[in-house]
Structure 1
Amino acid sequence: MNFLAVGVIYRREMARFFRTFLQSLLAPVISTSLYFVVFGAAIGSRIEEVEGVSYGAFIVPGLIMLSVMGQATSNASFGIYFPKFSGTIYEFLSAPVSFLEVVLGFVGGAATKAFIIGLIILATSFLFVDLTIAHPLAMLAFLVLTCVSFSLMGFIIGIWAENFEQLSLIPLLIITPLVFLGGAFYSASMLPPLWQTITHFNPVFYLISGFRWAFFEQADVPVAVSLAAIAAFTAICLAFIWWIFRTGWKIRA
């Protein structure tokens, strides 16, 4: 393992993040505050509790997942797209580094950025609601796994994209709707039976359910199922990235 190469790529990605640190901090804080005003105050005044948890606190895990999945995906996709766009990706392909080392650098940087944003949103939520985390270590573990898995998916999107419009296409049309339909702001048990069945085909539903369990010890599905879902998703992304570097799809054209 060439840790020097991994460190160079990782520091390069983190330097790009800290150059826009203020914007990176300001956007999630403002959006989270607005969600608390709209959902926590307006809707929360009509829905006081969900499964014994105040509605304002209940939506915190969903808000964190919404931002983390979007940030991880966009950071990783932009991170690998720019070298491909400028042609510097050929330096990585010709250098004595394996695909795993390249992925560790780019995905590690994107996952770290998303993790920091997740912690900032969590800290912001304490300003609005009285929140207690039942299993802090499990919460951090789910947060890290989500950051890594969606950074891997973002890496794939960055390789696939041929222009800047395509970079935002998948997060906008797929990830955000899946988060909203995955129980970010409600419990699946509140839905009619048909929609409960449909919800179980949404992979994001399992991530949000496991993450919410770490906060309130309440989940729509067993925690083991949530862990299996995120492990399967991560394995699929890794296998696809291996195939990309093996065949040169979209990177050697």
Structure 2
Amino acid sequence: MNFEAVKSIYLFEMARMKRTLLQSVISPVLSTSLYFVVFGAAIGSRIETVEGVPYGAFIVPGLMMLTLLQNSISNASFGIYFPKFIGTIYEVLSAPISFLEIVLGYVGAAATKSMILGLIILATAHLFVPIEIKHPFWMLFFLVLTAITFSLFGFIIGIWADNFEKLQLIPLLIITPLVFLGGSFYSIHMLPEFWQKVTLANPVLYLISGFRWSFYETADVGIELSIAMILIFLALCLSIIWWIFRTGYKLKT
């Protein structure tokens, strides 16, 4: 394992977070604060509690997951797409480092930035509502595993994308709607029975449900099922990345 190579890629990507502090940190925090003001104040005044949890506190895991997914994907996809765009990716590919070390560097930095932002969002939430984390270990487990998994997914998108429009296509048109419809701001038990069954087909539901369970011990699906779903998606992403480097898909042309 060439740790120096991994460290170089990792530190280079982390430095980009400092250079774009307004976009990387301040903007998501302000957006989340607006969610608390709009949903917490407007809707929270009409819905006091959801499954025994104050509504303002109930939406915190969903908001954290929304931020985590969006930033994990965008950080990783842009991190690998930009070297492709300017042509420096060929210098990385010709260097004496393996694809595993390349992935560790780019995905590790993207996941780290997302986890830092997620914890900042958690600290921001404390300014608006009282939060109790009943299972801190499982909260960190879901935070880390989700950040890594969707950073891998973002890495795949960055390789697949041919332009900046495609880079934003999946996060905006697929991931964000799935998060909003995956129980971020409500429990699926509040829906009619038919729509409850439809929502179970949304993979993001299992992430949000497991994450919320770590806070309040309330979940829409079993915690074991949530863990299994994210591990399956992690394995799928790893398999696709292995295939990409094995075949040189959109890397050798």
TM-score relative to the length of structure 2: 0.99
Residue 93 (structure 1) shift: 1.4
Q: Secondary structure at the match of 1:14?
A: helix
What secondary structure is seen at the aligned counterpart in 2 of 1:168? helix
Q: Which residues of 2 match residues 110-149 of structure 1 at below 5 A?
A: 110-149=110-149
Q: Distance in 2 between matches of 1:24 and 1:161?
A: 21
Q: What is the aligned partner in structure 2 of residue 164 from structure 1?
A: 164
Match of 1:214 in 2: 214
Cα distance, 1:103 vs structure 2: 0.4
Partner deviation per Cα, 1:79-112 (whole Å, 9 max, x = no partner)? 0001111111111211111111100000000000
Give the structure 1 partner of residue 7 of structure 2.
7
Amino acid at match of 1:232: I
Counterpart AA for 1:129: V
Alignment deviations for residues 190-246 of structure 1 (CA, whole Å, 9 cap, x no partner): 111111111111110000000000000111111111111010000000100000000
**What does residue 68 of structure 1 align with?**
68
Rounded to whole Å, the distance in 2 between the matches of 1:175 and 1:122 is 21
Structure 1 residues not aligned, in runs of 5+: none
Task: Give the alignment's TM-score, normalised by structure 1.
Answer: 0.99
Q: Secondary structure at the match of 1:159?
A: helix
1:14-54 CA-partner distances (Å, limit 9, x unpaired): 01111112432211221111101110000000000000000
Q: Secondary structure at the match of 1:31?
A: helix
Cα deviation, residue 10, structure 1: 0.3
CA RMSD of aligned residues (A): 0.7
> How many aligned positions are there?
253
Q: Give the letter aligned to residue 192 of structure 1.
A: P
Per-residue deviation, residues 62-81 of structure 1 (Å, max 9, x unmatched): 00000110000000000000
Q: Secondary structure at the match of 1:204?
A: helix
Residue in structure 2 matched with residue 26 of structure 1 by the alignment: 26
Give secondary structure in 2 for the equivalent of 1:252. Answer: coil
Counterpart secondary structure, 1:235? helix
